Amino acid sequence: MRIARFSIDGNVAFGAVEGESPPGSTDGLVLDIIKGHPFTDFELSGTKVPLNKVRLLPPMLPNKVVAFGRNYAEHAREMGNEVPDAPFAFFKPSTSVIGPGDEIAYPSFSNEVHHEAELAVVIGRMCREVPRERVKDVILGYTCANDVTARDVQKREKQWARAKGFDSSCPLGPWVETDLDPSDLTIMCTVNGQQRQLGRTSEMIHSVEDLIVNITEAMTLLPGDVILTGTPAGVGPLTVGDEVAVTIEGIGTLTNKVIKRG
């Protein structure tokens, strides 16, 4: 099931996305509004609205975004880093999250902002110290993410809080796909229609199971929390006016435009 979060007539709701559409289009897609929220057993209301008549929002408003770096060997090497022996985590604040079609505001303190296409895992229930065999039980589904990074700031500052956590640096969407095997999916990033990144989740050094076991050893995850799983090689600069799109096999495409921060 594809679960979207959306706004219509000033009201916010979740809905199940139904139908098929051409790539890059929402024509033919409708939302069956969910009664309640997707973190418990829920029912579809039967009330349907065309998807192109609503505003898609970030599919979740996470309490926290836990991101893992250097989880693709080629990306680690292109950045001049060693491949880590263990998962390497950092945080992006909830205020960094934006949705499909929202604008990435180029931060005034950086001159080198990069795209990073990533598979995102959405947590479905409160959990900690999750054993490997129970990881699937705590996952609601998967969505597309762009770990937008102020690369010059990342290189200059020992902590990544500003480089990775500025407002609008975590686009998520367009929806959450609940029925998906994440082990071998194509990940692609384009900028203005030109391919920049192309990889597969099977190239990850540490699997989704590895990452969730690792982080829940340390902290409790809450429903709606998001785990970013790392980016393939090919990261590169974004400039004001660019349109950047992250496409993941079996999920869809997340598109955002870069604007000058006001």
CATH number at residue 16: 2.30.30.370
Q: What pLDDT, on the 0 to 100 scale, is given for residue 74?
A: 85
Q: What pLDDT, on the 0 to 100 scale, is given for residue 75?
A: 85
For residue range 80-131, what is the model confidence (pLDDT) as tens digits?
888 888 999 999 999 999 999 999 999 999 999 999 999 999 999 999 999 9
Q: What pLDDT, on the 0 to 100 scale, is given for residue 80?
A: 80
- The reply to whether 153 and 136 lie within a common domain is yes
Q: What pLDDT, on the 0 to 100 scale, is given for residue 82?
A: 80
CATH number at residue 99: 3.90.850.10
- The reply to whether 45 and 86 lie within a common domain is no
Domain that holds residue 130: 65-260
For residues 192 and 195, give the distance between their C-alpha atoms in angstroms, rounded to a whole number: 9
* Cα–Cα separations (whole angstroms), residue 85 to 77, 80, 194, 213, 229: 14, 16, 33, 15, 15
DSSP per position, 39-71: TS--EEEEEEEEGGGSEE--S---S-EEEEES-
The overall average pLDDT reported for the chain is: 95
Domain count for the chain = 2
- The reply to whether 75 and 52 lie within a common domain is no
For residues 114 and 160, give the distance between their C-alpha atoms in angstroms, rounded to a whole number: 14
For residue 21, what pLDDT band results from cuts at 50, 70 and 90? confident
Q: What pLDDT, on the 0 to 100 scale, is given for residue 262?
A: 77
Region 42-67: mean pLDDT is 96
